[in-house]
């Protein structure tokens, strides 16, 4: 419990710090200081600059907020969809449940990375970086619900077969009435699903970015930053820059996971 | 909470995957054992063929270059044609008859004699449609070519029509023993193919009957052999080069060049601009599915010139290429000795002039946003291929450069198939940033880009008739250079094309990436050239000195 509390506070602190960095005067994640590419830490750029002379601290902070917000929204969408479909499958007719789970399996078998790439290349070219980031996370959500739905389905089916449900049905409660008491009982299942999906989406976006197909320039993304790790020449020159980013992702994921531990 | 643990594990694994390249670096594989006096370097993939007539990829071409004996060699250093198996050659004034006189006493690597019969057979084989030799089409009408051999040392080739740069075509035709094609096992060049292990290496050994000697009469080649390791990974290549397993690296990316320079400054060399160009262009095709006003911008000369003036090419070279590129204003690089024209006048970086030019063309600035005369805000996207770091950086720099004109640019990296689909088929794009690799310095090789009816005429492919008067003039000038036998007249025509392109900016040239190479200080006789194969064009004169 103490770990959970600490994790939640640390996470909140990270978000506040990122917001503070970005609201500071003259902070810009996109302005190129062309006289100082790959600059070391200085008063002007506390974490140095990237290959195009952009402030790293501002970029890491913006990426943190962007990817956390995007992942949280995507996760909320996923969990809501999963709750609806999972509950419908568990409490509906047998063939409805069977069909819903079949669709889940089909979705899980899809090569999601290629799907994402296809969607990316089908987007109108003038889609602004902000909307393309939003679309990326929405597509991630659209592809991410089945695993969650299966978990909800299993939980809801146990609920349906539980003794008090049996009594309720025997007592003549209609499906719609039962639903009202089912949803609160599913919350202990849905909340962790929501929380564990967030890091999964952060990673999915980072992976997409590491392929060069994530969030568009000049918006920063952690995946895009880590893309440069692919190249040992830069890696060895500037490891003090990239390892913190990688470390930050790891810490963030562990914090989220710990905060989600119920 | 099993799912939770699993997910944490997956998350950690994904992070490990992101670090994988770095890990791979520490456990690089070993190169194959080296024989004494053997030169070793890497090629990126398996040569697709060892049959010199069928060569169509870069690595097969390298093997052909090292093994094949040819009548004429295009000297990569002087950029001039030199006779090789031929003692002399001449081209008739009408450009339709070539006469080669072979050296006497020529032999193949198996000791059999090389005569005009072998030469005629090898050329005929290349010309036969059944062989499928890519070189054949350079003869324009290969079926009409006839070959006579009046004696054992004379070969006469009759062409149905004049072919520009005919001498260079013979640089690509390997002379093989008549009726005994051997896939490089029996050759008349410096080396022969000795051993090939798929995905591992190609081993060449010296041709004991090679005709050339050095100034002191010592037989060439000096090296006891060549081993070409098949290795795609730059990290491993550099590591093994540092350990002395490889003697040279051609075409280093700028960041690896800098890395190697820090460790062994004496081993790297920036040879200056290559023949290759990086450029961006606007989609001017009338059938493109773009709004009419956008097409009007892209078809406006003033708009293209203003964009060109707003781009700081020196910054592109300095930041995207770490200084290892040269600002470009034309399609002929300064590395191209015969065709470069220093007198071309092209738009230079000048934001004030760009703004003035846009204002004259009816554009206006409104709250920091550029608008056309009808009030449409000027914004467009630049496509480039995902995964090319330098291009993405250039596009992002251009994004900021054009923001100074009030133009909003979106940078869109796409995977290559999706990019080609848009460029070649749907034409659904606004601007594109890509490069062009020029292997041949002769601008005649770029006919398919400049002729307005060509599908590779990127800014407006396959025009039925030239869309503008300047495109018609480019067509005329390119055809003039292709039909003239007078070098000065050809140069004049190409200079004219360069000036039109500089004036009209259908391609906005950005940089010539520099040729970056590395070679061991123990490798003697090396004379780096800008043309491929940069370091080994004189492979027969290369030798290793000292112990490694």
pLDDT 10s digits, B148-180: 999 999 999 999 988 888 999 999 999 999 999
For B171-194, the three-class secondary structure string (H helix, E strand, C coil) is: HHCCCCCCCCCCCCCCCCCCEEEE
- Judged by CB atoms closer than 8 Å, whether chains meet at A212 and B413 is answered as yes
Q: A-chain residues within 8 Å CB-CB of B315?
A: 34
Mean pLDDT of chain B: 90
Of B8, B381, B387, nearest to A254 by CB-CB distance is B8
pLDDT attached to residue B55: 92
Query: Any CB–CB contact under 8 A between B10 and chain A?
Result: yes
Is residue B246 within 8 A of residue B41, CB to CB? The reply is: yes
From chain B, the residues in CB contact with A206 under 8 A are 14, 18
Distance (Å, rounded) from C-alpha A147 to C-alpha B271? 55
Q: Do A52 and B10 touch (CB under 8 A)?
A: no
A105 close to B (CB below 8 A): no
Nearest chain B residue to A31 by CA distance is B400
Per-residue pLDDT of B56-107, as tens digits, reads: 889 999 999 999 999 999 999 998 999 999 999 999 988 899 999 999 999 9
* Predicted confidence band of residue B488 (pLDDT cuts 50, 70, 90): very high
**Are A34 and B395 an interchain contact pair (Cβ–Cβ within 8 Å)?**
no
pLDDT at B7: 40
Q: Which of B2, B3, B4 to mutate to test the interface with A (most CBs of A within 10 A)?
A: B4
* A224 and B CB contact within 8 Å: no
Would the pLDDT of A146 be above 80? yes
* Neighboring chain A residues of B235 at a CB cutoff of 8 Å: 232
Per DSSP, B137 falls in state G
DSSP assignments along B223-249, one per residue: SSEEEEEE---HHHHHHHHHTTS-SEE
Express each pLDDT in A201-256 by its tens digit: 888 887 777 666 678 878 888 777 777 666 666 666 666 666 667 777 777 777 76
- Dihedral pair phi/psi, residue B203, rounded to 5°: -115, 130
Inter-chain CB proximity B410 and A231 less than 8 Å: no
| Residues of A whose CB is below 8 A from B15 | 203, 246, 249-250, 253
- Interface touch B379/A126, C-beta < 8 Å: yes
Instruction: Flag if B8 and A125 touch (Cβ within 8 Å).
Output: no
Q: Could you say which residues from 132 to 171 on chain A have a Cβ atom under 8 Å away from some Cβ of chain B? A: 151
Q: Which of B258, B393, B415 sits opposite A233 (nearest CB)?
A: B258
Residue A170 to chain B, least CA–CA distance (Å): 33
Question: CA-CA distance, B146 to B77, in Å (whole number)?
Answer: 32
Select the residue of B7, B413, B414 nearest A199 (Cβ to Cβ): B7
Two tokens, residue B391: 């291009």
| Cross-chain CB nearest to A200 (options B7, B386, B393) | B7
Which residues between 474 and 533 in chain B have a beta carbon less than 8 angstroms from any beta carbon of chain A?
none
Nearest CA-CA distance, residue A137 and chain B, Å: 17
Which of A203, A204, A248 is most worth mutating to test chain B (most B CB atoms within 10 A of its CB)?
A: A203
Distance in angstroms (rounded) separating the CA atoms of residues A197 and A257: 9
A233–B253 C-beta distance less than 8 A: yes
Distance CA B403, CA A233 (A): 31
DSSP assignment letter at B462:
S
Cβ within 8 Å of B, A 59-88: none
Mean pLDDT, range B305-331, rounded to an integer: 96
Tell me what ipTM this predicted complex has.
0.78
**pLDDT higher at B470 or B483:** B470
Residue B410 scores a pLDDT above 70: yes
Q: Does A234 sit within 8 Å of B14, measured CB to CB?
A: no
Ordered alpha helix ranges (H), B264-413:
292-298, 301-310, 313-315, 351-360, 389-403
Mean pLDDT of A143-160: 87
Contact B25 A232 (CB under 8 A): yes
A16-41 residue pLDDT tens? 888 998 888 888 888 899 988 888 77
Interface contact A217-B392, CB threshold 8 A: yes
Strand, coil or helix: what is A155? helix
Rounded to whole angstroms, what are the CA distances from B468 to B281, B301, B343, B413?
A: 17, 11, 25, 31
Chain position carrying tokens 């599913």: A186
DSSP state of B31: P
Segment B238-259, tens digit of pLDDT:
889 999 999 999 889 998 899 8
SS3 B306: helix
The larger pLDDT score, comparing residue B467 to residue A113, is at B467
Q: Among partner residues A31, A233, A257, which is closest to B256 by beta-carbon distance?
A: A233
User: How far apart are the CA of B417 and the nearest CA of chain A, in angstroms?
Assistant: 10
Contacts of B11 in chain A (CB under 8 A): 199-200, 203, 250, 253, 257
Reported as a pLDDT band with limits 50, 70 and 90, residue B516 is very high
Contacts of A32 in chain B (CB under 8 A): 396-397, 400
In chain B, residues with a C-beta closer than 8 Å to the C-beta of A212 are: 386-387, 392, 413
Contact residues on chain A for B410, CB-CB shorter than 8 A: 125-129, 216
Report the predicted TM-score, pTM, of the whole model to 2 decimal places: 0.83
Best to test chain B binding among A233, A257, A260 (most B CBs inside 10 Å): A233
**Residue B153 C-alpha, separation from nearest chain A C-alpha, in angstroms:** 55
How far, in Å, CA of B331 to CA of B446, rounded? Answer: 10
Are the C-beta atoms of A175 and A109 separated by less than 8 Å? no
Residue B480, classified by CB atoms within 10 Å of its CB into exposed (0-12), middle (13-18) or buried (19+), is middle
Q: Please report the DSSP string for B42-89 in residue order.
A: EESS--S---GGG--SHHHHHHHHHH---SEEE-TTT-SEEESSEEEE
Distance from CA of A71 to the nearest CA of B (A): 14
Distance CA(B501)–CA(B458), nearest Å, equals 13
3-class DSSP state for residue B543? strand
Is B259 at the interface with chain A, CB within 8 A?
yes
Minimal-distance CA residue of chain B relative to A230: B21
Judge whether B395 is closer than 8 Å to chain A, CB to CB: yes
**CA B124, B129, B133, B138 torsion: positive or negative?**
positive
**B80 to A228, B68, B337, B442: CA distances (angstroms):** 42, 19, 10, 11
Rg of the Cα atoms in chain B: 26
Predicted confidence (pLDDT) at residue B533 exceeds the cutoff of 60: yes
Res B17: pLDDT: 42
Q: How far is B190 from chain A (nearest CA, A)?
A: 36
| Cα–Cα distance list, B424 to B89, B195, B462, B463 (Å) | 42, 41, 10, 13
Residue closest to B443 by CA, chosen among B535, B533, B330: B330
pLDDT the model gives residue A45:
83
B235, B397, B412: residue with CB nearest A52? B397
Nearest-Cα residue of chain B relative to residue A236: B259
**Closest of B518, B18, B259 to residue A234, by C-alpha:** B259
Chain-chain contact of B397 with A229 (C-beta, under 8 angstroms): no
| Rounded Cα distance, B347 and B311, in Å | 10
Q: Are B237 and B40 in contact (CB under 8 A)?
A: no
Of B4, B25, B412, the CB nearest to A260: B4
Q: For residues B280 and A168, which has the higher predicted lDDT (pLDDT)? A: B280
When pLDDT is averaged across residues B214-226 and rounded to a whole number, the result is 92
Average pLDDT, chain A: 82
Whether a cis peptide bond, with omega within 30° of 0, leads into B533 is yes
Q: Which pLDDT does position A193 carry in this prediction?
A: 85
**In the prediction, which pLDDT does B15 show?**
41
From chain B, pick out residues whose CB is under 8 angstroms from the CB of A217.
Answer: 392, 395-396, 399, 411
* Residues 35-54 of chain A whose Cβ lies under 8 A from any Cβ of chain B: 37, 51-53
Q: Which residues in chain B touch residue A249, judged by CB atoms under 8 angstroms apart?
A: 15
pLDDT score of A218: 85
């Amino acid at each position: 419990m103490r770990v959970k509390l600490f994790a939640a506070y640390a996470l909140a602190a990270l978000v506040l710090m990122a917001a503070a960095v970005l609201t500071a005067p003259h902070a810009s994640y996109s302005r190129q200081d062309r006289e100082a590419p790959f600059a070391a830490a200085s008063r002007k750029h506390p974490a140095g600059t990237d290959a195009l002379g952009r402030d790293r601290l501002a970029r890491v902070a913006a990426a943190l907020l962007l990817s956390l917000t995007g992942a949280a929204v995507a996760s909320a969408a996923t969990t809501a969809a999963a709750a609806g479909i999972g509950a419908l499958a568990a409490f509906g007719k047998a063939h409805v449940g069977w069909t819903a789970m079949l669709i889940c399996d089909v979705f899980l078998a899809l090569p999601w990375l290629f799907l994402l790439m296809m969607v990316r290349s089908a987007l109108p070219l003038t889609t602004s970086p902000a909307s393309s980031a939003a679309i990326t996370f929405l597509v991630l959500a659209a592809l991410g619900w089945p695993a969650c739905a299966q978990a909800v389905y299993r939980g809801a089916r146990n609920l349906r077969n539980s003794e008090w449900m049996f009594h309720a049905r025997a007592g003549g409660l209609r499906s719609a009435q039962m639903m009202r008491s089912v949803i609160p009982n599913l919350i202990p299942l849905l909340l962790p699903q929501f929380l564990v999906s967030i890091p999964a989406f952060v990673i999915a976006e980072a992976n997409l970015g590491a392929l060069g197909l994530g969030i568009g320039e000049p918006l920063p993304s952690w995946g895009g930053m880590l893309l440069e790790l692919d190249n040992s020449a830069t890696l060895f020159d500037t490891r003090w820059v990239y390892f913190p980013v990688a470390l930050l992702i790891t810490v963030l994921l562990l914090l989220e996971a710990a905060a989600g531990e119920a | 909470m099993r799912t939770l643990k699993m997910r944490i594990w997956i998350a950690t694994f994904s992070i490990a995957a992101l670090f994988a390249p770095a890990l791979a670096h520490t456990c690089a594989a070993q190169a194959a054992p080296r024989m004494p006096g053997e030169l070793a370097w890497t090629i990126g993939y398996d040569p697709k063929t060892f049959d010199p007539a069928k060569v169509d990829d870069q690595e097969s071409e390298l093997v052909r270059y090292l093994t094949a004996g040819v009548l004429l060699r295009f000297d990569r250093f002087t950029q001039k044609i030199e006779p090789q198996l031929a003692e002399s050659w001449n081209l008739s004034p009408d450009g339709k008859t070539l006469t080669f006189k072979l050296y006497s006493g020529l032999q193949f690597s198996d000791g059999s004699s090389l005569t005009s019969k072998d030469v005629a057979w090898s050329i005929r084989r290349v010309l036969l449609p059944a062989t499928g030799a890519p070189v054949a089409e350079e003869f324009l009408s290969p079926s009409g070519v006839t070959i006579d051999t009046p004696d054992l040392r004379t070969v006469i080739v009759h062409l149905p029509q004049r072919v520009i740069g005919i001498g260079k075509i013979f640089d690509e035709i390997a002379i093989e023993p008549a009726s005994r094609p051997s896939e490089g096992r029996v050759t008349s060049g410096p080396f022969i193919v000795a051993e090939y292990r798929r995905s591992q290496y190609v081993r060449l050994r010296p041709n004991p009957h090679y005709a050339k000697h050095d100034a002191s009469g010592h037989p060439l080649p000096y090296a006891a052999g060549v081993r070409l390791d098949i290795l795609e990974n730059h990290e491993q290549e550099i590591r093994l080069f540092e350990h002395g397993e490889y003697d040279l690296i051609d075409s280093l990316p700028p960041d690896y060049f800098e890395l190697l320079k820090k460790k062994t400054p004496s081993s790297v060399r920036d040879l200056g601009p290559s023949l290759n160009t990086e450029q961006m262009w606007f989609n001017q095709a009338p059938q493109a599915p773009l709004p009419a006003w956008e097409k009007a911008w892209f078809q406006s000369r003033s708009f293209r010139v203003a964009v060109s003036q707003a781009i700081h090419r020196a910054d592109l070279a300095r930041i995207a290429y770490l200084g290892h590129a040269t600002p470009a204003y034309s399609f002929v690089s300064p590395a191209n000795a015969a065709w470069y024209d220093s007198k071309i006048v092209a738009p230079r970086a000048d934001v004030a002039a760009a703004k003035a030019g846009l204002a004259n063309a009816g554009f206006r600035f409104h709250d920091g946003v550029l608008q056309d005369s009808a009030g449409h805000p000027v914004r467009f996207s630049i496509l480039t291929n995902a995964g090319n770091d330098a291009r993405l950086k250039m596009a992002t720099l251009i994004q900021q450069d054009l923001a100074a004109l009030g133009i909003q640019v979106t940078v869109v990296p796409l995977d290559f198939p999706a990019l080609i689909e848009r460029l070649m088929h749907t034409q659904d794009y606004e601007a594109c940033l890509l490069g062009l690799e020029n292997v041949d310095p002769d601008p005649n090789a770029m006919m398919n880009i400049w002729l307005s009816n060509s599908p590779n005429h990127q800014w407006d492919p396959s025009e039925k008739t030239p869309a503008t008067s300047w495109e018609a003039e480019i067509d005329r000038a390119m055809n003039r250079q292709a039909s003239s036998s007078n070098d000065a007249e050809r140069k004049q025509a190409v200079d004219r094309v360069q000036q039109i392109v500089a004036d009209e900016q259908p391609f906005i040239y950005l940089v010539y990436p520099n040729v970056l190479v590395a070679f061991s200080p123990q490798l003697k006789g090396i004379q780096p050239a800008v043309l491929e194969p940069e370091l080994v064009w004189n492979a027969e004169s290369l030798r290793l000195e000292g112990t490694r």
